[in-house]
Structure 1
Amino acid sequence: MPDHTATPPASRRILVIKHGAFGDFIMALGAFQALRRHYAGDHLVLQTIPSLVPLARASGWFDEVWTDPRDKGPGALLAIRRQIKGGRFDLVYDLQCSDRTNLYFQLLRPFPPRWSGTAWGCSDPDPNPNRNATHGTDRYAMQLATMGIAEVPPPDAGWITADVSCFALPDRYVLLAPGCAPHRPEKRWPEAQYADLANRLVARGIIPVLVGTKSEAETTAAIAAACPQAIDLTDQTTLFELGGIARNAAGAVGNDTGPMHLLAVVGCPSVVLYSHASTPTQSGQRGPKVTILREPQLKDLPVERVEAALLELMDDLPSPSSG
């Protein structure tokens, strides 16, 4: 007869390291979910940057979420060393695999924990010779596969949502995300083309809704001025509210930015615009309905082409009004 008095095995302590940027973090959601399922009875800790802590905690995939401000200097590195050593981890998944996180492994010598990553001398090196050229989602899945986690399905992102009734949005709207990092102007489709697209949507009875951060307010304000029917929600939404708004949207158009990763992963039909400055095979947005358009210079991407791609993704789209 089975021995029902046997002591159950002690749970393992497992650390997952994934910092930023935001888009990279979204690409890692499937890997996070797969790790949680694989280590269902173990204690799973995520180390990430402070801005991503609310998202990580809301996922429910981690028992603890630690912050790493990525401060410079020996004092900061020693603090991280104490943090990781104090966790007494049985296994570490370094999904960041940066020079900094590789250094974390070296700081744990002479008795580092079992470590999956790219750090020299680690127990479970990632064998992918084209890691840096591999799409983020596939890169994490391949790393997990070497550790016996064969399946990394698209993540369930149903938790990225919120009550958005306070915004009183119309029944039919399309999100426009015209911003980008201020130092990367080459990744922006021009304001005039966004404004042209916004007015074309209005002609179809669809309201453009502008989203972005405070640093993009000048861009969104210019588009709103050119299309008075547009609703400007710049710097007015949390990430969770953005997810809720995206779920109800007919579609979205935006540059290659982190928020477009979020819109795509929650299922919003998304058209993402790429220039020569980024490579969709390495960092392209993924979701149930995503189209990526690429031109070396985004100013050369015609509005008609973007509109056509959006129409193809959207369901039950009304024709332009004759009046």
Structure 2
Amino acid sequence: MSADDVSKEQVLILHDGDLTETVRMLAAAKAIRAHHRTARITLLTGPEFEGMLKHCIYFNAVEPSLRDVAKKGFFERMKLARASHFDVVYDLGSGEAGQKLKGAMRFSRARWIRAVPEPNDPGHPLDIVAGKLGAAGLGKTHYSLGEAPGPEADWIDFVARRSRTLEPAYFGLQNAYVLFAPAGDEVKPAYRWPKERWASLAHQMLQRGIEPAIVGGPSAREIGRYIAHVTPGARDLTGRANLVQLAGLGRRANFAFGEDAGLLHLLVATGAPAVMFHPGEDAPHFRAPRGRHPTLLMHAPTLAQISVAEAVQAMRFAGGFAPAPEAA
């Protein structure tokens, strides 16, 4: 750390969660950056998403050692806290590790701000966290459903300028395309849209001159291969792109379809309009992805009840047949 950095206000953000929670955290991180414009902001997190978060402009440094620090003995954590020189610590969801650090931070001069949805807090996590930050001086103290800003990943444009591996052409996508983000095999089949429907939707897209690309991690490879096999012209990218590359694809996509999985939340944050399939009797208002463009929620007791025609109509309603957005 340089002398200039030492003279700046020092802010620490703690967060450790799955991909959905990590994408949502970006909304709070943007608000914190706007409030602490000249501060040096460090994100202390887990290792899973370091490769993506290190490119985010809201942080000056990303340290993936939260769990390792929490494993240290209390007196060692206390010494680290005293030597940290942090002025403010924002706990945006760090679990047990964060609670251990909070105990040690009592011996430092840092102000501790906890902005985490509690089990009994009603509403969408983004609105709840924004209100808690507001109570700490970062805006309004209450947000109605859908009122708080969603996460944004438009900073991925800066990465794309330096690497062609984020461009659609790198994956063979030359014209208009739509992204399919099906849940992987870790989700029970009863809670997934049938693979036959995905294949039929891919066929419908090809007939309209829009190339379908199936994205996801290793757990989605089986359905990706099935769709590409049954529907020649569909492109199976499952297991071939990391999160930064997938964010790059999202920023140029005409549309995205997916189930309630972290990847869909990331694609929506990059600016892609989307449809989310969700099983159950109740609409998932408190789980919906949020971004610059609309996300339509399609829910049914079982997802097999949602037809391909309904999915296409939802895409049309949300503007998915409009020209793809141009990245900056």
TM-score range, shorter chain: 0.7 to 0.9
Contact kept in structure 1, 2:69 and 2:77, CA below 8 Å: no
Counterpart of 1:313 in structure 2 is 318
Could you tell me how far 1:155 is from its partner in structure 2?
4.7
Contact kept in structure 1, 2:257 and 2:275, CA below 8 Å: yes
Could you tell me how far 1:102 is from its partner in structure 2?
2.5
Structure 1 residues 204 and 191, CA, compared in 2 at 3 Å: closer, same or farther?
A: same
Contact kept in structure 2, 1:273 and 1:293, CA below 8 Å: yes
Contact kept in structure 1, 2:255 and 2:320, CA below 8 Å: no
Contact kept in structure 2, 1:24 and 1:136, CA below 8 Å: no
User: Which of 48, 55, 66 is equivalent to 2:63?
Assistant: 66
The amino acid that maps onto 1:135 is H
Q: Distance in 2 between matches of 1:72 and 1:159?
A: 29
Q: Distance in 1 between matches of 2:74 and 2:190?
A: 35
Could you tell me how far 1:56 is from its partner in structure 2?
2.0
The amino acid that maps onto 1:105 is K
User: Which of 17, 20, 26 is equivalent to 1:20?
Assistant: 17
Q: Distance in 2 between matches of 1:239 and 1:308?
A: 29
Counterpart of 2:92 in structure 1 is 95
Q: Does structure 1 residue 219 correspond to structure 2 residue 246?
A: no
Any idea what the Cα deviations from partners look like across 1:123-149, whole Å, max 9, x if unmatched? xxx7x7776443221122112101111
Contact kept in structure 1, 2:260 and 2:276, CA below 8 Å: yes
Contact kept in structure 2, 1:97 and 1:117, CA below 8 Å: no
Counterpart of 2:326 in structure 1 is none
TM-score (ref. length: structure 2):
0.81
Q: How many residues align?
A: 302
Could you tell me how far 1:74 is from its partner in structure 2?
5.0
Q: Distance in 2 between matches of 1:98 and 1:236?
A: 31
Structure 1 residues 57 and 71, CA, compared in 2 at 3 Å: closer, same or farther?
A: closer
Structure 1 residues 203 and 69, CA, compared in 2 at 3 Å: closer, same or farther?
A: same
Counterpart of 1:298 in structure 2 is 303
Structure 1 residues 147 and 20, CA, compared in 2 at 3 Å: closer, same or farther?
A: same
Deviates more, 1:208-217 or 1:271-280: 271-280
Could you tell me how far 1:107 is from its partner in structure 2?
4.1
Structure 1 residues 36 and 225, CA, compared in 2 at 3 Å: closer, same or farther?
A: same
Q: Distance in 2 between matches of 1:79 and 1:100?
A: 14
Q: Distance in 1 between matches of 2:70 and 2:84?
A: 22
Q: Distance in 1 between matches of 2:18 and 2:48?
A: 10
The amino acid that maps onto 1:312 is F
Counterpart of 2:3 in structure 1 is none
Q: Distance in 2 between matches of 1:237 and 1:129?
A: 34
Counterpart of 1:196 in structure 2 is 200
Q: Distance in 1 between matches of 2:207 and 2:187?
A: 34
Corresponding residue SS for 2:179: strand
Counterpart of 2:128 in structure 1 is 139
Percent identity between matched residues is 28
Q: Distance in 2 between matches of 1:172 and 1:198?
A: 13
Structure 1 residues 269 and 143, CA, compared in 2 at 3 Å: closer, same or farther?
A: same
Counterpart of 2:145 in structure 1 is none
Q: Distance in 1 between matches of 2:192 and 2:69?
A: 31
Q: Does structure 1 residue 56 correspond to structure 2 residue 53?
A: yes
Structure 1 residues 67 and 181, CA, compared in 2 at 3 Å: closer, same or farther?
A: farther
Could you tell me how far 1:160 is from its partner in structure 2?
2.0
Contact kept in structure 2, 1:186 and 1:277, CA below 8 Å: no
Any idea what the Cα deviations from partners look like across 1:239-263, whole Å, max 9, x if unmatched? 2221222222221111111111111
Contact kept in structure 1, 2:23 and 2:151, CA below 8 Å: no
Any idea what the Cα deviations from partners look like across 1:26-70, whole Å, max 9, x if unmatched? 112121111112111222111111122232221121122111363
* Higher CA-based Rg: 1
Contact kept in structure 1, 2:153 and 2:247, CA below 8 Å: no
Q: Distance in 2 between matches of 1:219 and 1:52?
A: 24
Contact kept in structure 1, 2:154 and 2:271, CA below 8 Å: no
